[in-house]
Structure 1
Amino acid sequence: MVDSIGSKLSTNKVAGVTRVATPAAAASVTKQPGTAQVPTVAAQLAASAPVDMDRVARIKQAVASGNFPLSPTTIADTLIAARYEWMSHDKA
């Protein structure tokens, strides 16, 4: 049965609030002396950029001496193609 909504005063009594102690801090993790940490693949890849520095040096030398064919048309086409590829990954 459902009581009607009205101006009836509630006779329910609320018990007092009991405070509890704050929880103890979690024990911190400490590194054991003498244990070596194995680097993850991500850590190894993040340590250095995946760049072939010898190839970069050869290209720089070829550009400086005028032996590397720089075609503005090829560069522009590549940049436009890259932009279209990026746009295909954009959310609509």
Structure 2
Amino acid sequence: MSTHASATAAGTAPVGAQTASTATEGNTSALSGLASVMAAQPPVNQERIAQIKKAIADGNFPILPATIADQMIALKLSWSDNDAA
């Protein structure tokens, strides 16, 4: 009888399974902690948004039509054929 079969027959998990289970629990705990930290922070940088709004209001925000056009084309090219335009 193999180690896995004897461990299963005895009602215990094989040693490798216990290690994987412990690693998975550790990863789940770490991800839960990270999710909590991220949920406590705003999803966008409000200070940067305020700076951009002020620059637009003051007329100091650089608007480069060629750059905007390039980004729009790049975005369109990244859509799949099934996406609506």
Q: Normalized against structure 1, the TM-score is what?
A: 0.42
Q: Rg larger in 1 or in 2?
A: 1
Judging by fraction of residues, say which structure has more helix: 2
Report which structure shows greater RCO (CA 8 Å, sep ≥6). 2
